[in-house]
């Protein structure tokens, strides 16, 4: 028996496949290829463009915008601002991935300026990155979550409260991903228990998820909370399915391919059975 929420998540995947949203990504050069391929895998269509002269036009022909500060520079940050404002004007969903937000003053300033000047449908990061955004302080050791920031089961209620409060403050859906994923708006949170620890041994699974989130929110614009939760659950479940395929000699590179493959082959039926979430 599929309950109502699960049924909605299934429809959201089908909407991405039906509508094939075109997603404009201004993202880092490390994981851009994987982001493009996972967008296609989930049913969307990717375009990357970061020249300030063209980004507002590119955004205008797209259905959603994905901003990722993985390898920012002053030129591309300017383009993020321009594209973000164009997308906001057109009411296109915009997703922010504040990669390593606390790793430098430049990244922190960039993240804060993006938050001040743009309206995001969803902000997705690890707990250290989201804490940095929320506190203005925080600490990020590189692009992975700090050990001291790892979410323990006991802390879940606190983190949910934190996510809801930050969602209320920003008007964005907040997606905090890690061993357990929390996706929250001001009122409601999804706790998602999909995924596999080995996913953290691939560069850019977070970037890929943010790109997919933009696709899901663009194809399901009326329900950004559920759309983001659906993307998070799909990514995690794809990580589980892909992990089962691994043979003894496979490592993180084959795993990377298999996760994208699993998204490509994911059906609504599979997702309905595999999604592990609770609402709080």
Could you list the residues that contact a second copy (CB under 8 A)?
22, 28-34, 36-37, 40-41, 45-51, 53-54, 57-58, 61-62, 70-75, 100, 103-107, 141-144, 201-204, 241, 245, 248-254, 256-265
Shorter beta-carbon distance to a second copy: residue 216 or 258: 258
Shorter beta-carbon distance to a second copy: residue 205 or 213: 205
Shorter beta-carbon distance to a second copy: residue 119 or 245: 245
Shorter beta-carbon distance to a second copy: residue 107 or 196: 107
Q: Which sign, positive or negative, has the C-alpha torsion 266, 23, 179, 165? A: negative
- Structural Rg of the chain based on CA atoms: 17
Shortest Å, Cβ 171 to a second copy:
28
Q: Which residues are paired to 97 by β-bridges?
A: 68
Shortest Å, Cβ 31 to a second copy:
6
Number of neighbouring beta carbons within 10 Å of residue 246: 15
- In the block, which residue shows the tokens 């008007």? 171
CB 39, CB 189: distance < 8 Å: no
Max Cα-Cα span within the chain: 52
Shorter beta-carbon distance to a second copy: residue 142 or 171: 142
Q: Which sign, positive or negative, has the C-alpha torsion 174, 35, 26, 18? A: negative
Q: Which residues are paired to 46 by β-bridges?
A: 23
Shorter beta-carbon distance to a second copy: residue 143 or 189: 143
Shortest Å, Cβ 42 to a second copy:
10
CB 109, CB 98: distance < 8 Å: no
CB 14, CB 268: distance < 8 Å: yes
Shortest Å, Cβ 28 to a second copy:
7
Shortest Å, Cβ 209 to a second copy:
15
Shortest Å, Cβ 142 to a second copy:
5
CB 237, CB 274: distance < 8 Å: yes
The three-state secondary structure class of 65 is: strand
């Amino acid at each position: 028996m599929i309950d109502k929420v699960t049924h909605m998540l299934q429809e959201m995947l089908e909407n991405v496949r039906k509508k094939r949203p075109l997603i404009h990504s201004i993202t880092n050069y490390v994981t851009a290829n994987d982001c493009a391929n996972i967008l296609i895998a989930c049913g969307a269509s990717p375009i990357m463009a970061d020249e300030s002269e063209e980004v507002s036009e590119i955004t205008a022909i797209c259905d959603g915008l994905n901003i990722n500060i993985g390898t920012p520079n002053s030129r591309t940050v300017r383009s993020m601002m321009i594209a973000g404002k164009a997308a906001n004007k057109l009411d296109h969903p915009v997703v922010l991935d504040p990669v390593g937000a606390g790793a430098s003053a430049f990244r922190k300033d960039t993240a804060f300026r993006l938050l001040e000047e743009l309206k995001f449908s969803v902000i997705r990061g690890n707990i250290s990155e989201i804490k940095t955004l929320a506190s203005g302080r925080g600490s990020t050791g590189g692009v992975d979550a700090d050990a001291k920031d790892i979410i323990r089961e006991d802390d879940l209620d606190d983190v949910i409260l934190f996510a809801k409060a930050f969602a209320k403050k920003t008007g964005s859906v907040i997606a905090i991903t890690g061993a357990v994923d929390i996706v929250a708006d001001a009122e409601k949170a999804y706790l998602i228990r999909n995924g596999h620890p080995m996913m953290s041994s691939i560069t850019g699974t977070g970037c890929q998820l943010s790109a997919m989130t933009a696709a899901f929110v663009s194809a399901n614009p009326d329900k950004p909370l559920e759309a983001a939760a659906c993307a998070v659950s799909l990514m995690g479940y794809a990580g589980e399915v892909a992990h089962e395929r691994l043979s003894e000699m496979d490592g993180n590179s084959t795993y990377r391919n298999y996760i994208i493959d699993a998204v490509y082959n994911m059906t609504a039926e599979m997702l309905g059975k595999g999604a592990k979430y609770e609402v709080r």
